[in-house]
Amino acid sequence: TQLLEQSPQFLSIQEGENLTVYCNSSSVFSSLQWYRQEPGEGPVLLVTVVTGGEVKKLKRLTFQFGDARKDSSLHITAAQPGDTGLYLCAGEHGNNRLAFGKGNQVVVIP
């Protein structure tokens, strides 16, 4: 059983469209992180959220942590081909350990 469920698993959109992907769990996390992974590379940290209800923005990316700290969403505005990648959410699970979801594969078509 996956601790963190991400949906949708795969999403293909046209350049300029908006998209939202989700990360859900039945567990409460003290913090949650989003990473982006490109082919042939390791995941790269995008953001860390720690407070229930917190919203963080990174250029066209908006991250929200649920009030109960069990879920999170990532919204991309006016997607560009450079946003293509596997988006992974990860929750702190024990002392300095992260559990990862399987990821949201996003493809932005020019």
Between residues 74 and 79, which has the closer beta carbon with respect to another protein? 74
Give the shortest CB-74-to-another protein separation in angstroms: 15
Longest dimension (CA), the chain: 42
Which contiguous run of DSSP H or E holds residue 71?
Answer: strand 71-76
User: Residue 6: exposed, middle, or buried by beta-carbon count in 10 A (0-12, 13-18, 19+)?
Assistant: buried
Amino acid residing at 25: S
Between residues 39 and 110, which has the closer beta carbon with respect to another protein? 39
Residues lying near another protein in the complex (CB under 8 A): 2, 31, 33, 35, 40-45, 48, 50, 88, 92, 94-103
Give the shortest CB-58-to-another protein separation in angstroms: 13
